[in-house]
A and B are shown apart, each in its own frame.
Chain A
């Protein structure tokens, strides 16, 4: 045992092992992500910039119930509704203060109509604070930009409640199955 240790000390076995390791690492591909040059695709379900969903006819899905605003922990959603000509509820203004938003996604969970969404878009820096104050028009435009076509249709099915387009809930989803069991 002692001669073992002596040999190890004299011939620097440990140091040479370490040197061999670093030399091997020299030829491994680096893990660096060259982000601005090579964009990093966001993971599915990433909570990025907000968007207001549109239905098949192109109308805004939001009905102005205000649940998202009530749930919002940072209180950054402001909704103003008025009465339309046919006594229906009209969403006059729907505004998200993105600089206050913490991207918890509670609004998406809360919305019974799947109207408010979080897109996978995250590169929206600006020199101007106003650019981060999302009005209804901007939010609807975001839907067209980041959820065009199939992407928008698939969005809720994958990650958010309700999973189905008829808002019945998917039996395999943990949350809903629990609620159903409690109901029984």
Chain B
């Protein structure tokens, strides 16, 4: 992509700013185009994630879900967006205003920033950094700051309780989640997400979900807690806390929390896909059986990636439609007494296996 753009732009740029700066400008333009594409596609996915969630959960409860706006209700996400955009922006009197303004922005930006390190297909990453996985952890922790700050600054007891719950929940489950992925890191020998996918493709099972089944389980449970989704949606428990940390938010500030939550779901699904289900690759035995597949252009594999992401998104909806909310002490028990020990055992076993059976797994 960079070569293509430099062919077009170099004759225009080099006479004015010289070859060195021209290369830099081309790089920046390419990155900006990538950012625009990823953000647009991700936000479109978020919009339709809400639509499909309502559809799937509706049908699971013998209802129809949205179907009035546009054919099959397909324009419903946009109708919702327009409605939220034109709603009155209410700010409570005893809100801590600067923090109140800042909190949804932090939450949303942290969610969107995570998109920059995800490899959607071979060679398509906005920022191919060598600590991609750590960066994702950092960003999901940063999102928790948005929640805690919104709860603190709203000047409402419900929001405050929601923020506190979120803080303790995210701290507890972040450990489990980080530890669950250590096994993957050991097996792949890298923190770069592209490298993880490539190493995974070369491994025996092509899916780390099979040798890392314990880690996958821990990640799967922690994934729900990290995104504040049912059955761990205690920070926004409707029946107890009105709406939790975003009780006092309205209009587009609320929409930012909403978009951030669904972007978070997409990112968690992408992480699970990349670390455990082989990212954009199909299992090796399929590739060997159908040799023509390897001659396909790279961008085709984004379909495989998205299909895997959709499976996880569907699981999010499915679990939400099925399970009730855990009690708070149960949540903490699962986090500290079940998931973290399992993850630690997994790390030990994986590490020993890596030493003893070199190249076997």
Interface residues of A (CB under 8 A from B): 15, 18-19, 21-23, 25-28, 30-32, 34
Q: Does B323 contact A (CB under 8 A)?
A: yes
- Contact residues in B for A21 (Cβ distance below 8 Å): 322
* Sample of 10 further A-B pairs with CB below 8 A, known A19-B318, A25-B60: A18-B323, A21-B322, A22-B318, A22-B322, A25-B59, A26-B60, A27-B59, A30-B59, A30-B63, A32-B62
Given the known inter-chain contacts A18-B322, A19-B318, A19-B319, please indicate yes or no for A26 contacting B64, CB distance below 8 A: no
Q: Are A19 and B322 in contact (CB under 8 A)?
A: yes
Closest-by-CB residue of A relative to B231 is A15
Contact of A25 among B62, B319, B323 (CB under 8 A): B62
Interchain CA distance A22-B320 in the complex, whole Å:
10
Q: Are A32 and B64 in contact (CB under 8 A)?
A: yes
Query: Closest approach, in angstroms, between the C-beta of B9 and any C-beta of chain A?
Result: 50
Query: Closest approach, in angstroms, between the C-beta of B225 and any C-beta of chain A?
Result: 15
Interchain CA distance A28-B60 in the complex, whole Å:
8
User: In chain B, residues 202-254, which have Cβ atoms closer than 8 Å to a Cβ of chain A?
Assistant: none
Given the known inter-chain contacts A15-B323, A18-B323, please indicate yes or no for A25 contacting B318, CB distance below 8 A: no
- Contact residues in B for A23 (Cβ distance below 8 Å): 60, 318
Q: Are A31 and B323 in contact (CB under 8 A)?
A: no
- Contact residues in A for B322 (Cβ distance below 8 Å): 15, 18-19, 21-22
Interface string of B57-68 (1 = CB under 8 A from A): 011111110000
- Contact residues in B for A32 (Cβ distance below 8 Å): 62-64
Q: Are A30 and B58 in contact (CB under 8 A)?
A: yes
Instruction: Please give the number of chain B residues whose Cβ is less than 8 angstroms from any Cβ of chain A in the complex.
Output: 13
Interchain CA distance A23-B56 in the complex, whole Å:
10
- Contact residues in A for B63 (Cβ distance below 8 Å): 30-32
User: In chain B, residues 48-76, which have Cβ atoms closer than 8 Å to a Cβ of chain A?
Assistant: 56, 58-64
Closest-by-CB residue of B relative to A18 is B322
Q: Are A31 and B62 in contact (CB under 8 A)?
A: yes
- Contact residues in A for B56 (Cβ distance below 8 Å): 26
Q: Does B35 contact A (CB under 8 A)?
A: no
- Contact residues in A for B321 (Cβ distance below 8 Å): 22
Closest-by-CB residue of B relative to A33 is B64
Contact of A34 among B58, B59, B60, B64 (CB under 8 A): B64
Interchain CA distance A18-B320 in the complex, whole Å:
11
Question: Could you jot down 19 A-B contacts, CB within 8 Å?
Answer: A15-B322, A15-B323, A19-B322, A21-B322, A22-B318, A22-B322, A23-B60, A25-B59, A25-B61, A25-B62, A26-B59, A28-B62, A30-B58, A30-B59, A30-B62, A30-B64, A32-B63, A32-B64, A34-B64
Interchain CA distance A56-B208 in the complex, whole Å:
84
- Contact residues in A for B58 (Cβ distance below 8 Å): 30
Interchain CA distance A117-B62 in the complex, whole Å:
38
Interchain CA distance A27-B323 in the complex, whole Å:
19
Query: Closest approach, in angstroms, between the C-beta of B230 and any C-beta of chain A?
Result: 12
Query: Closest approach, in angstroms, between the C-beta of B106 and any C-beta of chain A?
Result: 34
- Contact residues in A for B61 (Cβ distance below 8 Å): 25
Closest-by-CB residue of B relative to A25 is B60
Query: Closest approach, in angstroms, between the C-beta of B165 and any C-beta of chain A?
Result: 23
- Contact residues in B for A30 (Cβ distance below 8 Å): 58-59, 62-64
Sort A-B residue pairs by CB-CB distance and give the 7 closest, nearest first: A22-B322, A32-B64, A22-B60, A18-B322, A31-B62, A30-B64, A30-B62
- Contact residues in B for A28 (Cβ distance below 8 Å): 62
Query: Closest approach, in angstroms, between the C-beta of B319 and any C-beta of chain A?
Result: 7
Interchain CA distance A12-B60 in the complex, whole Å:
20
Closest-by-CB residue of B relative to A17 is B322
Closest-by-CB residue of B relative to A19 is B322
Query: Closest approach, in angstroms, between the C-beta of B321 and any C-beta of chain A?
Result: 5
Query: Closest approach, in angstroms, between the C-beta of A21 and any C-beta of chain B?
Result: 8
Interface string of B306-337 (1 = CB under 8 A from A): 00000000000011011100000000000000
Query: Closest approach, in angstroms, between the C-beta of B228 and any C-beta of chain A?
Result: 19
Query: Closest approach, in angstroms, between the C-beta of A32 and any C-beta of chain B?
Result: 5
- Contact residues in A for B60 (Cβ distance below 8 Å): 22-23, 25-26
User: In chain B, residues 111-167, which have Cβ atoms closer than 8 Å to a Cβ of chain A?
Assistant: none
Interchain CA distance A23-B319 in the complex, whole Å:
10
Query: Closest approach, in angstroms, between the C-beta of B155 and any C-beta of chain A?
Result: 39
Question: Which of A23, A28, A32, A34 has most B Cβ within 10 Å?
Answer: A32
Closest-by-CB residue of A relative to B324 is A18
Interchain CA distance A31-B59 in the complex, whole Å:
10
Query: Closest approach, in angstroms, between the C-beta of A23 and any C-beta of chain B?
Result: 7
Closest-by-CB residue of A relative to B56 is A26
Interchain CA distance A30-B64 in the complex, whole Å:
6
- Contact residues in B for A22 (Cβ distance below 8 Å): 60, 318, 321-322
Query: Closest approach, in angstroms, between the C-beta of A174 and any C-beta of chain B?
Result: 38
